[in-house]
Amino acid sequence: MRDDLIVVAGGGGFIGGHLVADLLKKGHTRIRAVDIKPTEAWWQLFPEVENLELDLQLREDCETALEGAAEVYNLAADMGGMGFIENNKALCMLSVLINTHMMMAADKYKVRRFFYASSACVYAADKQRSPEVVPLKEADAYPAMPEDGYGWEKLFSERMCRHFREDFGIITRVARYHNVYGPIGTWDGGREKAPAAICRKVAQAKLSGQHEIEIWGDGHQTRSFQYIDDCVKGTQLIMHSDILEPINLGSDELVTINGLVDIVEGIAGIKLKRRYNLSAPKGVNGRNSDNTRIKAELGWAPGIRLSAGLEKTYAWIYDQILSGKPCLAS
């Protein structure tokens, strides 16, 4: 039903911009993109889309955003990489207002389907203490011990989606994103995530001739990183699936931060001296996605190799630095 109105909240952001682009590519004719930022600060802006500047922490703005909508993708949140979420816990918690008022507006206008972008930060900290982490299953979110601030807000909003589905009949779908990266997104300024930060640092080292890089932590912490194209595909598959409970959406290709630097150095054709900042925010010691359930439910899981995604990401960030373009707001 390509003429139904689809709302993408956070449409000016990294994931939201890529999602709007893909919906247009698929032939959807009525899309409303909403973001708090002025449109000149959006990562991607499409003139054929209804683009609204709204503060979705406000109930009345959520009602403006959702009036007439058939489907809603709620990607809106005040967030960033580990450096941001560890130092802005109150701001991250305030994102609960967004999903609260969005769900209330969805009930008011009888929205057919509502997707909520959660995070792997909901997972219990005691299951992520070792770099040799066991991949996180969906059940590992409980007993609850999520990332302070950001993770608690995400876990609470997951439950809100569940209860709005149970009590008011809204079809809600929830995906737990694991470290999404790619081009056309934040790469500097404090909100960027590890892949973009490493690509930027390597590119700057190459361009400046100062062959040195600072790494947060000891470099042994492990993560999985999901390329944006897999995230956009998985988001839409989950939205239109019969999956009731929150589900992982992430790569299960585990890598150390040192290994991440190795890959980007190989792409750049350079070898750098490494300085380890042990006092910098580094998050949990290990986190990986268990994709057993998504494979069983969808017959699919994110599969774009990290080296392939980083090659595209590094090339884009390198060009941004070379051109002297400032990094847009997150």
Q: Is 227 a catalytic residue?
A: no
Q: What does the DSSP 8-state code read for residue 125?
A: G
User: Rounded CA gap, 90 and 97, in Å?
Assistant: 12
User: How far apart, in Å, do the first and last CA atoms of the chain sit?
Assistant: 32
Catalytic residue among 73, 116, 123, 150: 150
Determine the Cα angle at 319 with ends 178 and 22, to 5°: 45
- What tokens were used for 239? 């939205």
Q: What is the dihedral of CA 7, 9, 13, 17, to 10 degrees?
A: -10
H or E segment to which residue 100 belongs: helix 96-108
Determine the Cα angle at 274 with ends 225 and 120, to 5°: 20
Is the Cβ–Cβ distance between 81 and 193 less than 8 Å? Answer: yes
User: Rounded CA gap, 248 and 243, in Å?
Assistant: 11
Residue 278 C-beta-side C-alpha neighbours within 13 Å: 1
User: Rounded CA gap, 84 and 91, in Å?
Assistant: 10
> How would you classify the pairing of strands 6-9 and 71-74?
parallel
Task: Give me the residues paired with residue 216 across strands.
Answer: 277
User: Rounded CA gap, 311 and 258, in Å?
Assistant: 17
Q: What does the DSSP 8-state code read for residue 35?
A: E
Is the Cβ–Cβ distance between 35 and 16 less than 8 Å? Answer: yes
Helix, coil or strand: residue 267 = helix
Cite the beta strand spans of 76-217 per DSSP E: 113-119, 171-177, 180-181, 212-216
The residues that are catalytic are 150
